[in-house]
Amino acid sequence: MSRVDRTWMLLLMSALFLGVLSSCGNPEKQVTAEPEIIRMKLPKPEKPSSVKPSPKPTITSAAPSAETHQGAVPSESQDTTREIAQPMLPDQQRVLYKVEGKIDPFQPLIREEPVEKASLDSKTQRKKRIPQTPLERLDLSQLRLTAIIRTASGYRALVEESTGKGYIIGVGTYLGLNGGRVVAIHKDRFVLEEEIEDALGNVKTEQRDIRLPKPTGDPS
C-alpha cells in the first residue's frame, strides 16, 4: 500500500470516528418524541325514550248534516256560535239626497235667458219684409229725389235710380232695403219711416228726410 493510500485511509477512518462520537455525544437527539395521548370520556348515547309522542289531533270539517239541508232547526249551541262570530252592528239609517231645489254644479252660474220666440218672430217679420217692387230691392244711396209734383190729390215725388230710370212715389210707397215707407211729401222733400234694429236686437222706428238737391249757384 502506498503512502497516499494510507493517508486516505486515515482520513476516512477519522471521519467515521468523528461521526460515531457526534451521534453518541447527544443521546437526547436520538430519542424521538413520542406522541401525546389525550384521554377523554365520551358521553354515552341516550337511549330512545319508551314514551311515544302523542299523535296530533286532526281537524276535520264538519259536513252539513242531512237535517240541516232539509230545513232542520239548528241547535242552541250553533245559534250561540253564530252570534259570537257575527257581532251586533248598529242600524244605519239611509240618507236620501233630494235633487229638487238644489243647484246643479255642472251648470254655469251665468246663463243667458232664452228670448221669447214670439218677440223674435215679430222682429224677424218687421225686418225681413218681402220686396214687392224694384224700389224695395235698392238701397237709398242708389236713389235720388229729382222732382216734387203737385197734383189735385196732393204732392208726389219723382225718384231716379243710378241707371236713370225714374219712379213716381206717393204716401204709403215702400222703398229701400230696410222696408222704409213714405209717410209725408212736402214741396221740397219727402219723409221716409224705417224700422232699424240696434245692437241689442231691439227694433225701433226712425224717420229721415229725403230732400231735393239744391240747384247749381243757389247760395242757400
Residue 166, domain CATH: 2.30.30.830
Distant-in-sequence contacts of 163-169, Cβ < 8 A, 24+ apart: 167/134, 167/135, 169/135
Q: Is residue 51 assigned to a domain?
A: no
Rg (the chain; Cα; Å)? 70
Distance of CA 192 to the CA centre of its chain: 59
> Does residue 167 surpass a pLDDT of 90?
yes
pLDDT digits (tens, 9 = 90+) for 3-29: 767 787 888 888 887 777 766 655 454
Determine contact, residues 194/208, Cβ cutoff 8 Å.
yes
DSSP secondary structure letter of residue 137: G
Q: Is residue 56 assigned to a domain?
A: no
Q: Is residue 163 assigned to a domain?
A: yes
Q: Is residue 159 assigned to a domain?
A: yes
Determine contact, residues 182/191, Cβ cutoff 8 Å.
yes
pLDDT digits (tens, 9 = 90+) for 85-97: 555 655 566 667 7
Determine contact, residues 171/193, Cβ cutoff 8 Å.
no
Please name the amino acid found at residue 139. D
Q: Is residue 9 assigned to a domain?
A: no
Determine contact, residues 158/166, Cβ cutoff 8 Å.
yes
Cell of 134: 224694384
For 161, other C-beta atoms within 10 Å of its C-beta total 14
- pLDDT number for residue 104: 78
Please tell me the distance from the alpha carbon of residue 124 to that of residue 197, in angstroms, as a whole number. 10
Q: Is residue 160 assigned to a domain?
A: yes
Q: Is residue 98 assigned to a domain?
A: no
Q: How confident is the model at residue 37 (pLDDT cuts 50, 70, 90)?
A: low
Residue with cell 251648470: 107
Q: Is residue 87 assigned to a domain?
A: no
Determine contact, residues 156/169, Cβ cutoff 8 Å.
yes
Total tally of structural domains belonging to the chain: 1
Question: What is the domain extent for residue 151?
Answer: 124-211
pTM reported for the whole predicted model: 0.41
Kindly state the average pLDDT of the residues 194-199. Answer: 84
Spatial neighbors of 30 by CB under 8 A, at least 6 apart, are: 23
